[in-house]
Amino acid sequence: MNRNILGNSEEQVDIANLRKNYTSGGLVEDDLLDDPVEFFKLWLNQAIDSEVPEPNAMSLATVSESGKAENRIVLLKGVGKRSIQFYTNYNSRKGKSLEVNPSVAVNFWWAELERQVRMNGDAAKLSRRESEDYFQSRPRESQLGAWASEQSSEITNRAELSKSFEAVKQRFGKDPIPTPGFWGGYNITLNEIEFWQGRPGRLHDRILYTYGDGGWTFKRLQP
């Protein structure tokens, strides 16, 4: 059986031959900024202005205590001078992995712009005040959801989750919802940032910034 073929007998897709010729633009050294975080913010704003779906969605890769690599999509919620931030349940699988191994890899993919940004860094919890400030800015239903869900824990069925949500909703009534102690943010201090721009013939542009000795340096990589 050809494992590169997807679909039924009437409509089959050869995934080995799925490809796109990227033609939207290029990335030359004259376009770059000395600070890659500022350049990332420029690209992010362009993705937002271009109405890319979920422009702040990023894949977050962690490594568990047993050495198992795991990946999932989370939402970027802040950009610092040399860092980015996201929020989650500290008892989730990613939270438990970060307790033992703070090293993470992050990836943004903006297909409409034919752009990718890859980042490596080390994650640490944000201050309690920062986590509380963000939690209180969230929609009320999201606040209730944080209390109702024991993220990554096994659940019997959807009804059990709905029951938990209703119980939390009744518990707080119309009162302000406090920030759970098991919920908060992480700050990822960045060590590498790579910018990727699709080009024709798979001759893509790749610019890698590396942090060291108090500053950033960059180099061009072959595609």
Task: Tell me which residues are annotated as active site.
Answer: 202
Determine whether 26 is exposed, middle or buried from the number of CB atoms within 10 Å of its CB (0-12, 13-18, 19+).
middle
Q: Give one word for 181, left, alpha or beta, with left for phi > 0 and alpha for psi -120 to 50.
A: alpha
Phi/psi for 206 (5° steps) reads: -135, 120
140: which 2 tokens?
A: 């009320």
63: which 2 tokens?
A: 């490594």
Determine whether 62 is exposed, middle or buried from the number of CB atoms within 10 Å of its CB (0-12, 13-18, 19+).
buried
Element (H, E) at 51: none
8 A C-beta contact, residue 118 and residue 194 = yes
Q: Give one word for 77, left, alpha or beta, with left for phi > 0 and alpha for psi -120 to 50.
A: alpha
CA 147 to each of CA 24, 83, 141, 163, 165: distance values in angstroms, whole numbers, following the listed order: 44, 27, 10, 12, 8
